[in-house]
Amino acid sequence: METQPGAVGPSHVVGVGASAGGLEALERFVAALPLSSGVAYVIVQHLSPDHKSLMVELLARHTTLPIERAEDGALVRADHVYLLPPRKTVTIADGRLALADKDTSALNLPIDLFLRSLAADQGDRAIAIILSGTGSDGVRGIRSVKEEGGLVMAQDERTARFDGMPRAAIQTGLVDYVLAPEEMPEQLVRYCRRQRDQGVEGSTPLDDDQRLSAILAVLRRRTGTDFSLYKPSTVTRRISRRMAVNQVDDLGAYLDLLRGSTKEVAALHQELLIRVTKFFRDEDGWEIVEREVIPELANLGSPDTPIRVWVCGCSTGEEAYSLAILLREHLDEHDIHRDVKVFATDIDREAIEIAGAGIYPESVISDVPPDRLERWFSPRGDGFAIDRRIRQMVVFAVHDALRDPPFTRLSMVSCRNLLIYLEPVLQRRLLGMFQFGLHSGGYLFLGSSETTGDLGADLRALSTRWKVYQRTGGRVPMPGGMLDTTNPAARRFAAPLPERRVSELGSRSAVEQSEAYLLERYVPATAVVNERLELVHTFGDAARFLSVPVGSADLDFVRMVAGGAGTVVRAALQRAFHTGDEARFTGVLAGSESSVDLRVRPFTDRVSGHRYALVFLETGPPTPPQVPTSAAADLDTADADRVGELETELQYARESLQATIEELETSNEELQATNEELLSSNEELQSTNEELQSVNEELHTVNAEYQEKIEELIVANNDLDHLFAHSRIGTIFLDDHLRIRKFTAALDGVVNVMARDIGRPITDIAHLLGDIDLYGHARAVIDTGEVWETTAGTATGRDVLVRVFPYETESGARSGCVLSFTDVSRLRQAERRLQELIDSLPEHIAVLDHDGTILMVNQAWNEFASTNGVDDPLALGEGANYFDVSAAAAEVDDLTAEILTGIRKVLDGELEAFSREYPCHGPDRDRWFVLHARPLRDRERQVVVSHVDVSELRRAATGA
For residue 560, which amino acid is it? Answer: M
- Distance, in Å, from the CA atom of 110 to the CA atom of 92, rounded to the nearest integer, reads 12
Name the residue among 792, 797, 801 with its Cα closest to residue 772: 792
What is the CB neighbour count within 10 angstroms for residue 646? 11
User: Do the Cβ atoms of 312 and 401 come closer than 8 Å?
Assistant: yes
3-state secondary structure of 597: strand
Distance CA 129, CA 15 (A): 6
- Dihedral of CA 428/431/436/441: which sign? negative
CA gap 402, 172 in Å, rounded: 26
Residues β-bridged to residue 684: none
Pairwise CA distance, residues 846 & 878, whole Å = 8
Residue 446 and residue 417: Cα distance in Å, rounded?
7
Strand 799-808 with 788-793, pairing:
antiparallel
- B/e letters for 207-224, b = 16+ CB within 10 Å, e = fewer, are eeeebbbbbbbbbbeebe
Q: How many CA atoms lie within 13 A of 630 on its CB side?
A: 0
Question: Cα–Cα distance between 153 and 177 in angstroms, integer?
Answer: 5
Residues in CB range of 268: below 8 A, 6 or more apart: 215, 219, 238, 239, 242, 258
Tally Cβ neighbours within 10 Å of residue 552.
Answer: 10
Residue 598 C-alpha from the chain's centroid: 68
C-alpha span between 662 and 754 (Å, rounded):
91
Interatomic CA distance for residues 348 and 346, integer angstroms:
5
Sheet strand arrangement including 67-69: 67-69, 81-83, 39-45, 12-18, 126-130, 151-155, 177-179
Residues 6+ away with beta carbon under 8 Å from 405: 482
- List residues with catalytic annotation: 19, 46, 137
Strand 340-346 to strand 394-398: parallel, antiparallel, or no bridges (unpaired)?
A: parallel
Environment class of 792 (CB within 10 Å of its CB; exposed 0-12, middle 13-18, buried 19+) = middle
Burial of 837 (0-12, 13-18, 19+ CB in 10 A): exposed
Q: Determine what percent of the chain falls in helix, strand and coil, rounding each to the nearest 5.
A: 45, 20, 35
486-491 own/partner pairs: CB under 8 Å, 24+ apart? 486/606, 490/228, 490/229, 491/213, 491/216, 491/226, 491/228, 491/229
CB 274 within 8 A of CB 150: no
Query: Strand 844-848's sheet: what is its strand order?
Result: 854-857, 844-848, 943-949, 928-935, 914-919
- Name residue 632's amino acid: A
Q: Please list, in sequence order, all residues whose beta carbon lies within 8 angstroms of the beta carbon of residue 852, skipping any fewer than 6 positions away.
A: 881, 882, 883, 884, 903, 904, 907
Task: Check if the beta carbon of residue 747 is closer than 8 Å to that of residue 794.
Answer: no
CB 136 within 8 Å of CB 382:
yes
End-to-end CA distance of the chain: 115
